[in-house]
Amino acid sequence: AAEYPDIKFDIMIINNTCMQLVNRPTQFDVMVTTNLYENMISNVCAGLVAGSKYGENYAIFQ
């Protein structure tokens, strides 16, 4: 980040990051993280995105 002073960056604790992702997801343009935290963040994102399941007779939308 020091090499690119025009780019804004924040360092966040993973718990706060997940909370901010749920409350204000539009504040994030790019997230750079390690694999451990990426798994947590991707799980939160999967819960935020609505899903659908189509069956032969029924459809369920979350």
DSSP string computed for 9-61: -----HHHHHHHHHH-GGG-S-----HHHHHHHHHHHHHHS--EEE-SS-EEE
Taking only the tens place, the pLDDT of each residue in 5-47 is 998 888 999 999 999 999 998 999 889 998 889 989 988 888 8
Task: Provide the pLDDT for residue 14.
Answer: 93
pTM above 0.85, yes or no: no
Task: Provide the pLDDT for residue 23.
Answer: 93
Task: Provide the pLDDT for residue 16.
Answer: 94
